[in-house]
Amino acid sequence: MARVHLFRIFSQLSLQSKHSVLSTGNVQIPRISKNSISTTTRLFDLKEFFEPKENWGASEIKSGRTWTKDDLRIKSNEDLHKLWFVLLKERNMLLTMEAEANRQIKEFPSPERLDKVQNAMKNLEDVVRERNKAYHMLETGKEGERPVQECINGFGLRTFKKLHEFPVPKHMNKKWSSFEFKENDRDVQNFLLKYREKKYLEKKRKRVRDFNHVIGLMNRFPNMDMEAVKEQYPDVDIEKAKRSRRYKGLD
Do 199 and 165 fall into the same domain? Answer: no
- Identify the pLDDT of residue 147: 84
Q: Are residues 52 and 130 in the same domain?
A: yes
pLDDT of residue 115: 92
Q: Are residues 161 and 123 in the same domain?
A: no
- Domain span holding position 160: 148-178
Q: Is residue 35 part of a domain?
A: no
Shared domain check, 222 and 156:
no
**Residue 75 and residue 126 in one domain:** yes
Q: Is 2 inside a domain boundary? A: no
Rounded (5°) CA angle 140-144-145? 160
Same domain, 170 and 197: no
- The 10s digit of each residue's pLDDT in 34-80 is 444 444 455 556 777 777 777 777 778 888 889 999 999 999 999 99
If asked whether residues 169 and 101 sit together in one domain, one would say: no
Asked if 56 and 79 sit in the same domain, the reply is yes
Separation CA 223–CA 219 (nearest Å): 9
How many domains does the chain contain in total? 3
| Average pLDDT of the chain to the nearest whole number | 79
Of 130, 32, 44, the residue nearest 89 (C-alpha): 44
Confidence of residue 199 (pLDDT cuts 50, 70, 90): very high
pLDDT of residue 108: 85
Q: In Å, what is the CA distance from 96 to each residue of 50, 85, 103, 119, 123?
A: 7, 16, 11, 18, 23
